Amino acid sequence: MAVSGDGDALRPVGIDELLERVRSGYRRIEPRAAHEAARDGEALLVDIRYAALRDRDGLIPGALVIERNELEWRLDPQGSHRVPEATGHDLRAVIICNEGYASSLAAASLHQLGLRRATDLVGGFQAWRAAGLPVEPVA
């Protein structure tokens, strides 16, 4: 991402600044709040971790697994490859990566598709597990 500076010049930004900027565009969610929202049917948990991490650490019960490279295609309510859960632009999707970095960029991308309620899990799967929330082994 380049940011407009003085005149027509664009200045590159580093990943830390980019994360700060995209995260300022929405409210992130903590693990316990995400668990409650999913339990109450108010949010869809979406695990974007790659298979090796899921195999190693397990799964969040009820979370939809969509690898990062397919996320936008699967959650776009207008897309031909959408999952059944992608019912509209008001979907509250909580994106979960391993530690809460890639998920921030993914949530920002979903915002660009019009999914304005998309957010990500602070600390990712590791924070979920550290909070003692449910995790099940991969079958």
Question: pLDDT, tens digit, for every residue of 53-71?
Answer: 999 999 999 999 999 999 9
Query: Quick one: the chain helix, strand, coil %, rounded to 5?
Result: 35, 15, 45
pTM: 0.91
Collapse the DSSP code of 120 into the 3-class scheme (helix H, G, I; strand E, B; otherwise coil) and give the result: strand
Do 43 and 37 meet the contact criterion of CB atoms below 8 Å apart? Answer: yes
Collapse the DSSP code of 17 into the 3-class scheme (helix H, G, I; strand E, B; otherwise coil) and give the result: helix
Strand-pairing partners, residue 119, are: 94
Collapse the DSSP code of 138 into the 3-class scheme (helix H, G, I; strand E, B; otherwise coil) and give the result: coil
Q: Where are the beta strands (DSSP E) in the chain?
A: 2-4, 10-12, 44-47, 64-65, 93-96, 119-120
Do 107 and 25 meet the contact criterion of CB atoms below 8 Å apart? Answer: no
**7 pLDDT more than 60:** no
Q: Where are the domains of the chain?
A: 27-131
Do 58 and 139 meet the contact criterion of CB atoms below 8 Å apart? Answer: no
Mean pLDDT of 21-48: 97
CATH ID of 27-131, from 3.40.50.1820, 3.30.590.20, 3.40.250.10, 3.30.360.10: 3.40.250.10
